Amino acid sequence: MSLRSRGIDAIDIEILRILANDCTTAINKISQAVGVSVPNVRKRIRRLKALGVIKGCKASIDPEVLGALTYLILFQAPEGEDGNTDISAVKSSEIERIFYSSKRGFGAVLARTLDPGGVDEIVRRIEKAGFQVENTIFIDREVGDEPWVPEKPLTKVQAKCSFCQSIIVGRPYTVVLDDGRILVFHNERCAEAYFKLNLDKGRLKG
C-alpha cells in the first residue's frame, strides 16, 4: 500500500523525520518546523500511531559501549515444511531483530550477547525450535545507524492557502486564531475574503 493510499502526506513525513531523530521533541517545536498548528500535529501523530507507522519511543543504546558481541545468524525452516513455520519460538532476550521470508522459509536474526559463549546458546535455542542454522557471522563493524524514514511524497512541505486551497509560493500570510489554529494565505486579501465568507456562513464568530 502506497503512502498516498494511506493518507500520508509530506507534512506527515516531516513529522516522522523529526520524531525518528528525537522522539522526545516537543509538539510545539514540531508545529513550528512543519508549519501546522499544535492540535493538527497531535491529530497527525495519533493517526500515524493508529496506522502502526509510529510503533513507540525507545532509548537508543550503543551495544559496543557495553562490550556486547554482535552476530548475524542465518537459518532455514524445517525441511519439508513451508515458510509458515511459527518463528516466534526463535525470540529471546539476546535477539534484537528477526528477519524472515515466509516464501522461501529462510531467515536471519541479529543477536547480541555480553558472553562470548552466548552465541552457542542462541544457536541451540534456534535449532531446538526446529530450524536449521546455516551460518553464524560475527559482526565487528556497523556502518550507518540513522533512523529510516521514507522519501517524501513531495519534494518539500508545501502550504496551501486556507481560502482558495492553491499552493502558496513564497512566504505565506499567517493568522493565528484564538483556539490555537494557524491559517495560512497567499496575502492579506485572501485572509479577509476567507473570514468574510465564513462569518457570512456563521462558521466563525465575529
Domain match, 52 and 92 both: no
Q: Does 93 map to a domain? A: yes
Q: How many domains does one find in the chain?
A: 3
pLDDT reported for residue 206: 42
CATH code at position 106: 3.30.70.920
Q: Does 114 map to a domain? A: yes
pLDDT reported for residue 164: 86
pLDDT reported for residue 175: 84
At 87, give phi and psi (nearest 5°). Answer: -90, 0
Cell numbers 491529530 correspond to what residue?
Answer: 43
CATH code at position 17: 1.10.10.10
pTM: 0.51
Q: What's the pLDDT tens digit per position in 99-127? A: 988 888 889 999 999 888 889 989 998 88
Q: In whole numbers, what is the pLDDT of the chain averaged over residues?
A: 81
Q: Does 144 map to a domain? A: no
Domain match, 40 and 77 both: no
The residue range of the domain holding 46 is 1-57
Q: Does 133 map to a domain? A: yes
Q: What's the pLDDT tens digit per position in 139-198? A: 887 776 666 766 665 445 567 888 888 888 777 888 887 776 788 888 889 988 888 888
